[in-house]
Amino acid sequence: MADMNGMNNHSIPYGQMNLFNTLRKLLLELSMWRRAYLVSYASNSGDLAAVGSKLYSMPTSIGDVLEVFFGRTIARRIEIMIRQQIIIGSEILRAEKEGNIEEINESTKRLYQNASQMADYLAQINPDWEEQKWNDLLYEYYETTILEMVAVLAGKYEESIVLFEAMENQALGIADYLVQGIIPYFTK
């Protein structure tokens, strides 16, 4: 139960619950907009630019929340890393559609390097986050993202839906771990 005053020992203070809900919502939206971009790209839909614009803006929304706890410089660096992952994901998608194996491999390598750099950075800025845990969360999420791309482009829509549902759960896991590391800031 959320308590706006934070007075009840058997409740979650309102600020913590709000943070929890906000980060879960944002990470789910990021996954949803990635999925929408994938489907629009695969089907040559006329809404690709609009969907891409929305997807590209999502890191700013996440950064805005993190700025409250870590300051502008750290939040913007995280935002840049997330946006870079979106760009690299788009490169992988394009290469998959074109069948360019060399570019798929190179971009995939860069995606995982970016995820490792982000895991390292997050662990450095917050002692409540572990680098290996971040690596595990991000690698699993991006592996599923790539598998979903392949499934959609191959016309395996039922499989892509199952993968997207897994991605949603992984996004929630990422949000939960973000919150787990931020909650101590409420008591400092």
Please name the amino acid found at residue 167: M
What are the DSSP calls for 123-169, one per residue? HHH-TTS-HHHHHHHHHHHHHHHHHHHHHHHTT-HHHHHHHHHHHHH
Alpha-helix runs per DSSP H in 10-156: 14-42, 48-70, 72-98, 101-125, 131-153
68-114 tens-digit pLDDT: 889 999 999 999 999 999 999 999 999 999 999 999 999 999 999 99
pLDDT of residue 126: 94
Q: What is the mean pLDDT of residues 5-16?
A: 62
pLDDT of residue 20: 87
Q: What is the mean pLDDT of residues 142-148?
A: 97
pLDDT of residue 183: 85
Spatial distance between the Cα atoms of 90 and 95, rounded to a whole number of angstroms: 9
Ramachandran assignment for 126, one of left (phi > 0), alpha (psi -120 to 50 degrees), beta (any other): beta
Strand partners, 2: 12
Inter-axis angle of helices 131-153 and 72-98, to 10 degrees? 30
pLDDT of residue 1: 40
CB atoms within 10 A of CB 4: 11
Residue 152 has pLDDT above 60, yes or no: yes
- Residue ranges covered by each domain of the chain: 14-187
Spatial distance between the Cα atoms of 59 and 7, rounded to a whole number of angstroms: 34
